[in-house]
């Protein structure tokens, strides 16, 4: 790739990357940021190094929608190894217990029903959640174990896809809310079955309606001759907000909204976040419906 401007380009949009195994999300973000020669970039939720799959990366103005992708539902395909529990709840950790596996498909499927719907889940110690400003994984590496409070998360769908002949390895299809930890599910399912378990493979398939089948690989990105060739892979910022209702504003309403004032719109929903448009198509940003029905600007874009 040709030599780049150290200051970077004003690139704006969302890139769907198929993350390879062995990298943290931030390592991938910085690598792609250099490839695009972009000034500003952010990812939309971490994937562990052992994980592969869909990682939407936001650049420039599109970083303003990162939080909405982070807060969206996600779908995963994950393999659990039964019979061994590790201190990280995945293959990167040390084995802390080994027990025989004496379960069948019917018992596993019955156990999975207890993890459906709204549930309370305790995050793993090896996570990016912070306690007094310190990530838990850093404390865990120092041998510090804390008693963590359970958090409410939602499992929309949970299916057993495959089970090995010896019942020691199973594959699950999981659709869940933000804040859900697949590693915690492996830990808790293993305890429910009485044999222990950890995540041996994880692939993210869907984020906020984006599909991994539409993502590009890091190898393909690195094959570009220059940064501008990669602009063809960038999606518009509002492509990541399809789960929010769209609202068309009149010319006058758009004028006042862009100056920070709450406005009214004929087709506005009663509550929640909305995508805002003017002149039939121009994307203005994201707003929130107030109690009195007006829409307050929250994340406005400098360009459509």
Average pLDDT for residues 264-268, to the nearest whole number?
A: 89
pLDDT at 91 over 70: yes
The secondary structure of residue 170, as a DSSP letter, is E
What pLDDT, on the 0 to 100 scale, is given for residue 7? 77
Catalytic residue among 48, 90, 188, 238: 48
Superfamily per CATH, domain 244-300: PUA domain (2.30.130.10)
The secondary structure of residue 234, as a DSSP letter, is P
Query: First vs last Cα of the chain: how many Å apart?
Result: 29
pLDDT at 283 over 70: yes
Average pLDDT for residues 58-68, to the nearest whole number?
A: 91
Where does the pLDDT of residue 146 fall: very low under 50, low under 70, confident under 90, or very high at 90 and above? low
Most confident region among 5-9, 90-94, 108-112, 237-241 by mean pLDDT: 108-112
Where does the pLDDT of residue 112 fall: very low under 50, low under 70, confident under 90, or very high at 90 and above? very high
What pLDDT, on the 0 to 100 scale, is given for residue 5? 56
Distances from the Cα of 133 to the Cαs of 114, 121, 125, 138, 145, in angstroms?
A: 33, 21, 15, 11, 16
| Bridge partner residues of 170 (DSSP) | 80, 163
What pLDDT, on the 0 to 100 scale, is given for residue 43? 83
The mean pLDDT value of the chain amounts to 90
**H-helix or E-strand containing 221?**
helix 218-222
77-91, 132-146, 248-262: least confident range: 132-146
pLDDT at 304 over 50: no
Q: Quick check: 172 and 80 in contact, CB under 8 A?
A: yes
Average pLDDT for residues 68-88, to the nearest whole number?
A: 95
Most confident region among 39-43, 122-126, 155-159, 228-232 by mean pLDDT: 155-159
What percentage of residues in the chain have a pLDDT greater than 90?
74
What pLDDT, on the 0 to 100 scale, is given for residue 82? 98
pLDDT at 1 over 70: no
- Every domain of the chain and the residues it spans: 13-71+209-239, 74-207, 244-300
What pLDDT, on the 0 to 100 scale, is given for residue 274? 95
pLDDT at 151 over 50: yes
What CATH number has the domain spanning 13-71+209-239? 3.30.2350.10
Q: Could you give the 3-state DSSP secondary structure of residue 211?
A: strand
Q: Does domain 74-207 have CATH number 3.40.50.10320?
A: no
Average pLDDT for residues 275-297, to the nearest whole number?
A: 92
What pLDDT, on the 0 to 100 scale, is given for residue 54? 96
Q: Got the DSSP string for 87-117?
A: TTSBTTS-EEEE------HHHHHHHHGGGSE
Q: CATH topology of 13-71+209-239 equal to that of 74-207?
A: yes
Active site residue 48: yes
Distance (Å, rounded) from C-alpha 12 to C-alpha 285? Answer: 14
Three-state helix/strand/coil letters over 12-69? CEEEEEEECCCCCHHHHHHHHHHHHCECCEEECCCCCCCEEEEEEEEEHHHHHHHHHH
What pLDDT, on the 0 to 100 scale, is given for residue 157? 98
pLDDT digits (tens, 9 = 90+) for 124-144: 866 666 666 666 666 556 565
pLDDT digits (tens, 9 = 90+) for 159-218: 999 999 999 999 999 999 999 999 999 999 999 999 999 999 999 999 988 999 999 999
As a whole number of angstroms, the longest Cα–Cα distance in the chain is 69
Which tokens sit at 216?
A: 């590009």
Distance (Å, rounded) from C-alpha 92 to C-alpha 110? Answer: 28
pTM of structure: 0.89
Residues 6+ apart with CB under 8 A from 246: 274, 275, 276, 277
């Amino acid at each position: 790739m040709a030599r780049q401007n150290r200051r970077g380009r004003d690139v704006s949009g969302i890139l769907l990357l198929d993350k390879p195994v062995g990298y943290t999300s931030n390592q991938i973000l910085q690598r792609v940021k250099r490839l695009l020669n972009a000034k500003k970039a952010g990812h939309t939720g971490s994937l562990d190094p052992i994980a592969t799959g869909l990682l939407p990366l936001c650049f420039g103005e599109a970083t303003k929608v990162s939080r909405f992708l982070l807060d969206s539902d996600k779908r995963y395909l994950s393999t659990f190894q039964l019979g061994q529990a590790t201190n990280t709840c995945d293959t990167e950790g040390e084995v802390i217990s080994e027990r025989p596996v004496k379960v069948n498909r019917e018992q596993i499927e019955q156990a999975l029903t207890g993890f459906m719907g709204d549930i309370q889940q305790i995050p793993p110690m090896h996570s990016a959640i912070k306690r007094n400003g310190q990530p838990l994984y850093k404390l865990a590496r120092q041998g510090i174990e804390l008693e963590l409070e359970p958090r409410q998360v939602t499992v929309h769908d949970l299916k057993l896809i495959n089970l090995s002949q010896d019942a020691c390895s199973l594959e699950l299809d999981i659709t869940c809310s933000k804040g859900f930890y697949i590693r915690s599910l492996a830990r808790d399912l293993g305890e429910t079955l009485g044999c222990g378990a950890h995540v041996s493979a994880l692939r993210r398939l869907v984020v906020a309606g984006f599909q991994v089948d539409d993502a590009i690989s890091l190898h393909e990105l690195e094959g570009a001759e220059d940064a501008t060739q990669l602009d063809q892979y960038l999606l518009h910022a509002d492509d990541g907000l399809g789960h929010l209702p769209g609202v068309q504003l009149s010319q006058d309403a758009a004028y006042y909204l862009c100056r920070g004032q709450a406005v009214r719109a004929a087709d506005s929903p009663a509550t929640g976040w909305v995508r805002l448009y003017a002149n039939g198509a121009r994307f203005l940003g994201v707003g929130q419906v107030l109690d009195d029905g007006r829409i307050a600007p929250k994340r406005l874009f400098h360009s459509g």
